[in-house]
Amino acid sequence: MSVNVFKIDIFIPAQAAAETEAIITKWHVAVGDEFKKGQVIAEVESAKSAFDFEAPCDGRIEKLNYPDGASVPFENPVAEITTADESMRSWERSAAPAPAVESVEIPKMTIVADKLEPSVRTISLLGFGICLPDRVVKTRELLTEFPDVTEDYMFKVTGINERRWAAPDTIPSDMAYEASKKAIENSGLKPSDIDAIVVSTTTPDMVMPSTACILQGKLGIRGAPAFDLNAACSGWLYAISVAKGLILSGIGKNILVTGVDMQSRVLDKSDKDTYFLFGDGAGATVLSGVEKGHVIQEEILSADSMGLHMARRCFPGYEVPENSKNFDPWLRLDGKALFRFATESFSAMVRELVIKSKWTPEDVRWVIPHQANGRIIKAAAQKSGVPFERFYLNIDRVGNTSCASIPIALSEIENGLQKKDKIIFCTVGAGITAAGLSLVW
């Protein structure tokens, strides 16, 4: 090599305009090695290709800036060389070709930092929001499938006169968004104040990504953890307990909890046990460890797989596929078994929460049960110790809205509640799950 040598940096040539980095899978040279122009000095992989990195001139390796396996931004030099090739004094690394493809911006992850100290012990519910579809479906509309059944009989066994069903172009996250937006507004917060999103649903928009992540996008929130859970009709209370845990662990200060279900499209028109029961809807609230609100007292969560057969659906999502001949895609209930279990669970939940909260039955202003079935709630009230007139029912007007039923019912009586009113929530769902919560307004 000539004595008229000089040092320069060399770079990996980019292979496509949208690429930003590549991986050096293997160096074929070491410090002190001499090489010839065109010699393969490294093997490289990028997002779109694998290629040989060829020397741009004759020279010698003075320094390798990255080891084998390193990820290298294209704007960073990968090695320092000495060369006598005068043309390299004005050398610039090859510009990447500009193929006619649309450039896609890759979002950078936003990290939510300022977290809550886990010493907080008081967790409150702030504002509430609901979404009920506009379409009212009266029981007499559905009786065309059952000419031998009367409207009076169906009301007697279900307690339902009408329910709300979503429009054909509505998806579950649409309802979740409407309820969540109202809950955040009624909490006096902004979407940017939300540190995590927990969505309870058995009818997600899709298997993945989660409806919570879809909801996050609609709300314009970045960086906050978001996930779904499925505890069927018990889901909203399960989600509240999970959100409380996130606050106590320091993950966030304000957690959005949304329950949404759209069962109207998964009902078998020939199944009298399910077809008349279900409505669509969403309900949401914000849990906070820093803002003053309605304070959670006690919680109960349970599940018993001995009840797996009582309520079930074997296909995911909010719609039934056209080709479902080889499996049962519909929502199914074992009505008699579910009635017995739900009656006992509701009444036991109320009694236990009264004791755990150090209340008396007379202290309870309202019991807001999951609106499963009018007969179940009446039977449970008789065994609970709390008079039936303190059990709030709206099932006659909205049907069983699954995990959204408690927040929807609560929203109807919210304006009539007084400070320090004592409230009990209780529910059962597929699994079979059960949940309860006591709250001081």
CA distance 281 to 412: 14
CA distance 270 to 261: 21
Q: What is the DSSP letter of 307?
A: G
Contact 302, 266 (CB under 8 A): no
Contact 403, 202 (CB under 8 A): yes
Active-site position among 57, 294, 400, 426: 400
Report which of 165, 265, 263, 178 is spatially closest to residue 215, judged by C-alpha positions. Answer: 178
Residue 44 is encoded by which pair of tokens?
């490289």
Q: Using N-to-C axis directions, what is the helix angle for 235-248 and 405-413, rounded to 10°?
A: 80
Residue 356 is encoded by which pair of tokens?
């755990």
Structural element, H or E, at residue 182: helix 172-186
Residue 153 contacts by C-beta under 8 Å, 6 or more apart in sequence? none
Residue 233 a catalytic site member? yes
Active-site position among 131, 370, 373, 403: 370
Active-site position among 57, 131, 233, 403: 233
Q: What is the DSSP letter of 419?
A: T
Residue 4 a catalytic site member? no
300 class by beta-carbon count within 10 Å (0-12 exposed, 13-18 middle, 19+ buried): middle
Q: Omega into 408 within 30° of 0, i.e. cis?
A: no
HSE, side-chain direction, 13 A CA sphere, residue 252: 25
Contact 384, 351 (CB under 8 A): yes
**What positions carry a catalytic annotation?**
233, 370, 400
